[in-house]
Structures are given as structure tokens and as C-alpha cells.
Amino acid sequence: MPVARIVGAIGRTLITVGILLLLFVAYQLWGTGLAEARAQSDLRADFEASLEAALTSTTTSTSTTRPARRATTTEPTAPPTTVAAVPEGEAIAIIRIPRIGVDKAVVEGVSVDALKKGPGHYPGTPLPGEPGNAAIAGHRTTYGAPFGDLGELQEGDEILVTTREGEFRYLVDRISIVSPSQVDVLDPSEEAKITLTTCHPKYSARERLIVTGVLAGDPISAPPTTEPDEPAPEEPAEPEEPDAPEEEGTEDDPVLIESPPSLDDPSLAGDPSARGPAAAWGGATALIALAAWFVGARWRRWPSYLLGLPFGAVTLFLCFEQIARLLPSNI
């Protein structure tokens, strides 16, 4: 008899664990998508409002404004938006990939919280449309899976990105799979290109899928600089020439920026601080389940379970949210 009870207890435990795993998988595949959809709606509305405001302001300030929503060599009336000016988690662009049906707002940053909202721009890389290597990471299976079908792209496919500076068209020129430690895909580049990264294979963070595209057209030119023309006639001495390029090069060259994070950067590897909250909410869920079982054993089983279900569902959802933060942020 004791053996039968032990076997029965083990069986019920395994069934419970199996159900919890299935619920977590359902949360990852569909529950996270609901949160991403809400965030995308807000981000798109905010970005489009700021875009319209910027276009209106530019139109009223000058009659020689660069045409919006296309790549051009005409110098903009204001310097291109800098990465430092955009807080993490706010929309910086809209990315569209017609072949795989992607149409998402891109946020600044690749942290766990940032990528919950949509594809994220790697800090330290240029913004799309600027000279250099603009890099964007995105989830492949969770939170709406914006880059879920990235592997289906082919050479020559379009990647369209709209920023506050206009719309820019990239053409896919390379698709590769690399290890998370291979950082050269994020290196600065002299040509204007875009690099999209996501986990590979699906449901795993063992490798990274990399898609690169080159800008079809000219990038946004750097803001015009008048300083080199004015001092020339005033400075007859040659020795001062070497000092000027060193200072101006770091300010005006959009490619010479701080180093971007690597593909296995801690910001992409999950948030260890979520362990405590995950354990706490998991413990709360277990206590609610035990309380429902205890009351059911002394009162009525199913009414007790139904009473505890809403509370247990809430704590379990919160537990799943914290566990999801422990996973790689672009899985």
C-alpha cells in the first residue's frame, strides 16, 4: 500500500510538472505575443506622431528641406538623430520586410525589457540610413516573433526602414549562421548597411542567424562643418594642423562610435535578477495550490479548486513573466 501511494504521488507530480511546462510553452508562444502587440500599437502611434511633428516643423522652418521618406544626398536641415538622444525602449524606426511580412516598430536597445516591445537597435551602432553598420536584433519565437521567418530571406530581398530622417531601402546581400561569440558582424563599416540578428535554430540560443543588407542609394550625409574653412586663412602656421583632425574626426564621423555589444553580450543573455521574483511567484502559486487542495479535502473539491484558480492563474502568469526574463532576450 505505501508503495502504491508513493507511485501515485510521483505520477501526480509528474503530471503537474508536465502541465506547467505546457502552460509555459503556451505563454511563450502566444501569451508574450499579446504583450508585444500592445507595446507595438503604442510605439507605432508615438513614432508616427513624432514623425508628423518633425515633418511639419521641417517644412515650416525651410523651403529647401530634404524630401521625406527616401534616401538622398541632400543635406538635412538638422543633424541626423543620434543614438544617445533616444532613451532605451522608445521607437526609433519602422522596419518592413515584404517577403516575410514584417512590419514592426524598432526600439532603442537590446535588453530583455526593450526586446519585449519589438526589434531593438544595438546601442553603439549607427541609426538606419546613416553611414556604417546599423544593427537590429529581434525575437524569433516569442514576443510576436518579429524575426521568426528571417531565415526565409533571399539575396536581393528588400528591407525597408523608416526613421525620422526618411525611408531607406536595403537589399539583402548575405545570410549566415555564426556563434554567439562572433562579434565581427557588428563591426563598424565604411559602407552603409544593415545587420539583422536573431537566435538560431528556432527555440534555441545556441547560434545566431545573421542577415545583412546594403543601402540602395546614398546614406544621410554628416552635418556640414564650417570650422575647417574659417581657420585656414587665419592660421599661417602648419604645426596646428595635426591637432584639428583628431578632435573633428571623433565628432563628425558617424562610423567612429562606441563599440557595440557582442552577440553574447549580457544584455542579450537574460536578466539574472529575475531569479528571485520567479522563485517568489512560483512559491506563491504553490501555496495557493496547496491551500485549494487543503480546503477541498475538508469541504468540496471542485468548488475549492475553482475559487483558487483565478489567484493561482495570476501568480503563475507573473512567475512565467520572470522566468521569460531569464531566457536569452532574442530567442
CA distance 115 to 199: 13
What is the tens place of the pLDDT at every residue in 9-23? 888 889 988 999 999
For the segment 86-135, what is each residue's pLDDT rounded down to a tens digit? 789 999 999 999 999 999 999 999 988 899 999 999 999 999 999 999 99
Residue (of 116, 270, 153) closest to 205 by Cα position: 270
Burial 17-35 (b: 16+ CB within 10 A, else e): eeeeeeebeebbeebbbeb
| The pLDDT value given to residue 234 | 52
Distance CA 179, CA 17 (A): 32
Q: What percent of the chain has pLDDT over 90?
A: 46
For 133, the 3-state DSSP assignment is: strand
Query: In this predicted structure, what is the pLDDT of residue 80?
Result: 46
CB 282 within 8 A of CB 319: yes
The whole-number pLDDT of residue 252 equals 35
C-alpha cell at 16: 503537474
What is the distance between the terminal CA atoms of the chain, rounded to a whole angstrom? Answer: 47
- Residue 328 burial (CB < 10 Å; 0-12/13-18/19+)? buried
- Whole-number mean pLDDT of the chain? 80
pTM equals: 0.72
pLDDT tens-digit series, residues 130-183: 999 999 999 999 999 999 999 999 999 999 999 998 999 999 999 999 998 888
How many angstroms separate the CA atoms of 200 and 179, rounded? Answer: 9
Per-residue pLDDT, 330: 61
CA–CA separation, 216 and 173 (whole Å): 11
Contacts of residue 59, Cβ cutoff 8 Å, sequence gap at least 6: 65
| Amino acid 95: pLDDT | 97
Is it the case that residue 3 has pLDDT exceeding 80? yes
Per-residue confidence at 230, pLDDT binned at 50, 70, 90? very low
Predicted local confidence at residue 78, as pLDDT:
41
Span 30-38, mean pLDDT?
89
Tens of pLDDT, residue by residue over 284-331, are 999 999 999 889 888 888 888 899 999 999 999 999 988 888 877 667
